[in-house]
Amino acid sequence: MNITIYSQPNCTYCDQAKALMKSKNIAYTELILNVGQKQLEGKAYVPVQHLKDRYPEAKTLPQVFDGKHRIGGFAELQKWLRHD
C-alpha cells in the first residue's frame, strides 16, 4: 500500500482518518493543504491547487489515495479497510 492522506488543520475527519490508519498500523504520507496556517517543521505542506489538479471533484477533506487510486474521504476509508 502507498497511502496518501490530504488533510488540513482543525479537520475532525482528517484527524479520525489518521487515527484509524495508526490504529491499524498502516503507514501513510500526510500532505497538509496550505490554507495560510503556520507551517510546522517536519510536516509536508502542498498548495490547495495540488489536490485540485489531482482530483478536481474533491470538495471535502480528508482525501485518501492508495497510489493513484482514490479511496475517498473518511467514511470511504473505513469501508475500504474493512474489505481490504
Range of the domain at 65: 3-83
Q: pLDDT tens digit string along 4-23?
A: 999 999 999 999 999 999 99
Task: Read off the C-alpha cell for 2.
Answer: 502507498
Distance CA 40, CA 31 (A): 12
- Kindly indicate the confidence band of residue 84, based on its pLDDT and cuts at 50, 70 and 90: low
Number of domains in the chain: 1
Distance CA 29, CA 47 (A): 16
Average pLDDT over residues 62-74: 95
Distance CA 14, CA 10 (A): 8
Looking up residue 75, the CATH number of its domain turns out to be: 3.40.30.10
Q: What is the pTM (predicted TM-score) of this model?
A: 0.91
